Structures are given as structure tokens and as C-alpha cells.
Amino acid sequence: MTAAAAGGPGSRLPARHALLALAVVAVWGTNFPIFKLALGTLPPLLLAVLRFALVLLPAAFFVPRPAVAWRRLAAYGVLIGAGQFGLLYLAVGGHIAAGLASLVIQTQVFFTIGLAMFTAGERLRRFQWLALVLASTGVAVIAGHTDASTTPLGLLMVLAAALCWAAGNTVARGMGRVDMLGVVVWSSAFALPPLLLLTLWVDGPARIAQALGSADATVWAVVLWQAVGNSLFGYAVWGWLLARHPAATVVPMALLVPVFGMASSALVLGEPLPAWKLLAAALVLAGLALNLWWSGLKASLLLAKV
């Protein structure tokens, strides 16, 4: 097997495919300040309800249900919909800066590894311990600089969202090779009931009605972007790329999500980028990069010695 086929350092995406991958991570990253704009009008859980309602309909009439057991679709929908995005929207709604949320949510990589160790008996390798230490140090830097814009509660909520994302990844892993766009669409049916019940309980019918009545064109554009841009376009294109290239060639592009997230939050929302934020970002991204690239780098070094 060649290095390109294996997804090692010699692998390269064709220019058009690299631009598609860049478009997806740009959409996912810049979405953090975008949905923050809607949270001034819509309660966080209501925004999540509207997002997944528009993901489900009308797409369910055009996207076939994947060959996946209903229980797996239900688990994925609850974990990703109510867990990941419900908590993420609540956190960004007033407990953590949008740019930092885009960084902290990437700790899902290490939660995913931890769950694989617990459920499948996988062992953490030495380079992964180092990667975990680097990323954890970055999160600790954030925890040491909490203030009115980034609270300990907000940090914990985003970490919990990352854990839910990792659990959703574990469920998806058990599905085998399936059309992830179909999974995203049909699992949304199971994300909606808990989100709807929670927003009715937390916000109440009167607050929901008032928010919907106050929503202007900008707010509805943000809602539409959550469904069409982030869920349908993002997952469809990402899945298309993963079906044509090794994961090790495509997945590292996701490291740019917090870069886009922090930069766009600074531009759109005026969030400051002090030295400690840049240090935290460097540590977390270094940990993620080490986890993604160590095997390929080690293989290249061994080949160079031969």
C-alpha cells in the first residue's frame, strides 16, 4: 500500500476536494458566532428544536432511511441533538465565549478515545497520553481565566457537550459503513422530543411564543443555516470526501474549525484574543495534531532510516 493510499504524510487531496473540505470546516467554524447572533432572540433550546426540525423536514421525504436499527438512530439523535447541541447552545447563550466554545468542543476527540478504551478495550498509547496532556493543559489555561464571558459552568457545559459528541461517535462507529447524511436526517426525529420538552419546561410556552414573534429575517436565516449549512451540507460533503479518501487525509482539516471559530468570533462579535487564549488554542490544537499525525510521522521516520 502506498503512503497516499494509507493516508500517511504523502497523501494529498486534489485541489477541488481540498477546497470542499475547507468550505466545510469554514462553515462549521464560523457557525459559532453566527448562532450566537440568534441567541439574543431565541432561547438556546428553542434554537436547537428549530434546527433539527428543519434537518428532518423536508429532507426525510428525499433522503432514504439508512439501514440502521431504530435504537441506534434514537441513541445518536438524543446524544447529538439534545446532548451535544442542546448543551452547546445553552453554554454559548451566556456562559462561554463562542470562540472558546469552538476550541473546547474539539476535546471530543479524547473523550472518543476514552470511550473506545472503556467499550472496546482499546489501550491508550504513549503518544496519545502526551496529546491528552497537551490538550488538558490548554483547557486548564482556559479554566484559569474564567470571567463574566467564560464561566466555569460554561466550560463544564461545553466539555459535557463534547462527551455527548464522543458518545454519538461511538454509536455511529457501531453502525458500520452507512450514509451519514441519512443518519443525521432520520436521527433528528429522536432529537426533537427531548429538546421540545426541555424548552417547554425551561422557557415555557409564553417565552417561546414571544421569541418566535420577535424573530426577524436575520434570526430565521441563522436557523436555516444551522440546518442546511451545518447539518445537511456539512455532513453530506464530509461524508462524500471520506468515502473517496483515507480518513487520515480528510480528518486533519477539522483542526481548522477552532481557527475559523476563534477568528470569526473576534471579527463578528469583537471577542478579544489575549495571549492566554492563543496559548490555550496552541496547546489544544497541538494535542489534536499529535493524536492525528503521530502514526504517519513515525512511519515516515522509519522509512527514512531504511
- Boundaries of every domain in the chain: 14-295
**Contacts of 217-225 spanning 24+ positions with Cβ under 8 A:** 218/37, 218/38, 219/37, 219/38, 219/41, 219/42, 222/34, 222/35, 222/37, 222/38, 223/38, 223/42, 223/47, 223/50, 223/51, 223/54, 224/54, 225/31, 225/34
Give, for 49, the enclosing helix (H) or strand (E): helix 44-56
Q: What is the pLDDT of residue 39?
A: 94
Instruction: In whole angstroms, give the CA distance from residue 156 to residue 169.
Output: 20
Residue 74: other Cβ atoms inside 10 A: 17
Cα gap 24→235, rounded to integer Å? 8
Q: Which residues of the chain have pLDDT under 70?
A: 1-11, 120-122, 124, 247-248, 295-306
Q: Mean pLDDT across the chain, nearest whole number?
A: 86
Let me know: does 236 contact 182? Beta carbons within 8 Å. no
What is the model's pLDDT at position 109?
Answer: 82
Residue 128: name the closest of 298, 294, 299 by CA: 294
Closest Cα partner for 93 from 156, 19, 43?
Answer: 43
Cβ-based neighbours of 170, under 8 Å, separated by 6 or more: 112, 115, 116, 119
Give pLDDT, residue 3: 35
Whole-model pTM: value is: 0.86
Under a CB-based contact definition with an 8 Å cutoff, are residues 253 and 101 in contact?
Answer: no
